[in-house]
Protein backbone atom coordinates (compact mmCIF):
# COMPACT_ATOMS: atom_id res chain seq x y z
CA UNK A 1 0.00 0.00 0.00
CA UNK A 2 1.25 3.48 -0.78
CA UNK A 3 0.00 6.68 0.77
CA UNK A 4 1.39 9.07 -1.80
CA UNK A 5 0.87 10.13 -5.42
CA UNK A 6 4.36 10.21 -6.95
CA UNK A 7 3.25 9.94 -10.59
CA UNK A 8 0.72 12.75 -10.38
CA UNK A 9 -3.02 13.24 -10.11
CA UNK A 10 -5.25 15.02 -12.61
CA UNK A 11 -8.16 16.89 -11.01
CA UNK A 12 -11.51 16.95 -12.79
CA UNK A 13 -11.79 20.75 -12.75
CA UNK A 14 -8.47 21.71 -14.41
CA UNK A 15 -9.30 24.59 -16.81
CA UNK A 16 -8.10 24.56 -20.40
CA UNK A 17 -5.42 26.99 -21.56
CA UNK A 18 -6.81 30.23 -22.99
CA UNK A 19 -5.18 33.08 -24.88
CA UNK A 20 -5.97 36.54 -26.17
CA UNK A 21 -3.99 37.83 -29.17
CA UNK A 22 -4.18 41.37 -30.54
CA UNK A 23 -2.15 42.57 -33.54
CA UNK A 24 -2.26 46.07 -34.98
CA UNK A 25 -0.11 47.59 -37.67
CA UNK A 26 0.06 50.66 -39.86
CA UNK A 27 2.25 51.48 -42.79
CA UNK A 28 2.70 54.75 -44.64
CA UNK A 29 4.72 55.60 -47.74
CA UNK A 30 6.37 58.95 -47.05
CA UNK A 31 8.23 59.26 -50.35
CA UNK A 32 9.14 56.94 -53.21
CA UNK A 33 11.04 53.92 -51.75
CA UNK A 34 10.64 55.26 -48.20
CA UNK A 35 8.05 53.53 -46.01
CA UNK A 36 7.39 53.93 -42.28
CA UNK A 37 5.75 51.05 -40.39
CA UNK A 38 4.53 50.64 -36.80
CA UNK A 39 3.26 47.42 -35.27
CA UNK A 40 1.77 46.46 -31.92
CA UNK A 41 1.38 42.89 -30.65
CA UNK A 42 -0.25 41.82 -27.39
CA UNK A 43 -0.44 38.25 -26.10
CA UNK A 44 -2.09 37.20 -22.83
CA UNK A 45 -2.30 33.56 -21.69
CA UNK A 46 -4.28 32.12 -18.75
CA UNK A 47 -4.30 28.72 -17.07
CA UNK A 48 -0.87 27.72 -18.35
CA UNK A 49 0.34 24.35 -17.20
CA UNK A 50 2.77 24.59 -14.32
CA UNK A 51 3.35 20.87 -14.30
CA UNK A 52 2.92 18.83 -11.19
CA UNK A 53 3.00 20.53 -7.80
CA UNK A 54 3.21 18.77 -4.44
CA UNK A 55 0.02 20.01 -2.80
CA UNK A 56 0.86 17.99 0.32
CA UNK A 57 4.05 20.10 0.80
CA UNK A 58 5.75 16.92 2.02
CA UNK A 59 9.29 18.36 2.12
CA UNK A 60 8.41 21.87 3.35
CA UNK A 61 9.91 23.39 6.49
CA UNK A 62 6.45 23.53 8.12
CA UNK A 63 5.83 19.86 7.41
CA UNK A 64 3.24 18.20 5.19
CA UNK A 65 -0.45 19.05 5.10
CA UNK A 66 -1.29 15.39 5.73
CA UNK A 67 0.97 14.25 8.61
CA UNK A 68 3.78 11.79 7.97
CA UNK A 69 3.02 8.17 8.83
CA UNK A 70 4.60 6.64 11.90
CA UNK A 71 5.87 3.05 11.66
CA UNK A 72 2.62 1.58 13.05
CA UNK A 73 0.53 3.56 10.52
CA UNK A 74 2.39 2.57 7.34
CA UNK A 75 0.19 -0.44 6.51
CA UNK A 76 -3.00 0.75 8.21
CA UNK A 77 -5.54 1.88 5.56
CA UNK A 78 -7.57 3.69 8.25
CA UNK A 79 -4.64 5.89 9.33
CA UNK A 80 -4.83 9.46 8.04
CA UNK A 81 -1.20 9.97 7.12
CA UNK A 82 1.09 10.18 4.09
CA UNK A 83 4.44 8.68 3.11
CA UNK A 84 5.37 11.15 0.40
CA UNK A 85 4.43 13.87 -2.02
CA UNK A 86 0.94 14.30 -3.51
CA UNK A 87 1.78 15.58 -7.00
CA UNK A 88 -1.19 17.20 -8.72
CA UNK A 89 -1.35 18.56 -12.28
CA UNK A 90 -2.10 22.30 -12.09
CA UNK A 91 -2.93 24.92 -14.70
CA UNK A 92 -2.56 28.20 -12.85
CA UNK A 93 0.14 30.08 -14.74
CA UNK A 94 -0.29 33.41 -16.52
CA UNK A 95 1.86 35.16 -19.08
CA UNK A 96 1.63 38.46 -20.95
CA UNK A 97 3.89 39.97 -23.55
CA distance 25 to 18: 24
Beta bridge partners, 34, equal 31
* Nearest 10 degrees: Cα torsion 52, 58, 60, 65: 100
Instruction: Report the predicted TM-score, pTM, of the whole model to 2 decimal places.
Output: 0.52
Per DSSP, the three-state class of 71 is helix
Question: DSSP string spanning 23-46?
Answer: EEEEEEEEETTEEEEEEEEEEEEE
Domain residues for 38? 5-10+17-96
Closest C-alpha among 72, 54, 71 to residue 63? 54
pLDDT tens-digit profile, the chain (97 residues): 566 665 667 777 778 889 999 999 999 999 999 999 999 999 999 988 777 888 888 888 998 999 988 888 888 888 899 888 888 878 878 899 8
What is the total count of domains within the chain? 1
Amino acid sequence: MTKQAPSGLSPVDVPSWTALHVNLGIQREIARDFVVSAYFAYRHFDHLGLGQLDLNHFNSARGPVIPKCLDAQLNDPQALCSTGAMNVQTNAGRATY
